[in-house]
Amino acid sequence: MSHESAIIVADQIRTNPKTVLGLATGSTPLGLYNELIKLHNSEGLDFSNVISFNLDEYVGLPKNHPQSYNTFMFKTLFSKINIKQKNVHIPNGSSFNLKECDKYESLIKIYGGIDLQILGIGSDGHIAFNEPSSSLGSRTRLKTLTEKTVNDNARFFDNISNVPKYAVTMGVGTIMEARKILLLASGDSKAKPITKAIEGPISSMCSASAIQMHPKTIVIVDEAAAKNLKEKDYYKWVYRNKTNIN
């Protein structure tokens, strides 16, 4: 999953060195980020003109908190490649205000929109922090996390009571405007949400299902996450017979 997705991201950057990348946090993209770092070191994959926008940030944690997504991004990726700090954008969760959400949306537009958006999927089917019942037209805003998400994220905190309950997140509508989307999922815990997202009805109860309406989304999953897909054999058939026709 990580290797395949790194090929796609690297191709995108080589084709357009000024690519606007939408980035995700969590365990899912870690392998992809490691692959990109390897490509940067071994082949000189150049991030110097890449612009990035992250999907979301916890509200209430200072920027430099060990569990903030700002810290996560610098630790796992930005400090290991040659992206310029001025080109990096992460929603500000330390002093949340709605005007800043609108500013974030405007900034994405000023840079011409997101060329390639990386997504993980939550066990409740969320993309970014668009929890079940999030409007499929939603924009960057404050979101209250579900208890399930708080529990899922507790593994990174000493005590569950320290897990933030709010986040500032791009909306489903924001994500859907990306020109290309790359949704990644691995492991048993993602089998249910990935099946809902790909083969279930389009519903705000699984915000990831909005990708069914997106003109250019690639989903990469491992066997465990794919295990409940009804059309699994067909997807493998498509992959084996893939053409270079875009």
Q: What mask, x for binding ligand PGA by CB under 6 A, covers residues 22 to 61?
A: ----xxx---------------------------------
Is residue 164 a contact residue for ligand PGA (CB under 6 A)? Answer: no
Nearer Cβ to ligand PGA (111/142): 142
Is residue 135 a contact residue for ligand PGA (CB under 6 A)? Answer: no
CA 137 to chain centre: 17
The CB-of-27 to ligand PGA minimum distance in angstroms stands at 4
For residue 72, what are the CA distances in angstroms to 27, 69, 76, 85, 217?
10, 5, 6, 14, 25
Residue 137 to residue 96: CA distance in whole angstroms: 21
Q: What mask, x for binding ligand PGA by CB under 6 A, covers residues 99 to 128?
A: ---------------------xxx---x--
Residue 76 to residue 102: CA distance in whole angstroms: 28
Active site residue 131: yes
| Among 35, 40, 56, 105, the one annotated catalytic | 56
| Among 57, 115, 124, 152, the one annotated catalytic | 124
Residue 193 to residue 110: CA distance in whole angstroms: 33
Binding residues for ligand PGA, total number by CB under 6 A: 7
Active site residue 126: yes
Q: Compute, in degrees rounded to 10, the torsion defined by CA atoms 79, 84, 85, 88.
A: -100
Going through 59-205 in order, the beta strands assigned E by DSSP cover 88-89, 116-119, 141-144, 166-169, 180-185
Nearer Cβ to ligand PGA (103/132): 132
**Which residues participate in catalysis according to the annotation?**
56, 124, 126, 131
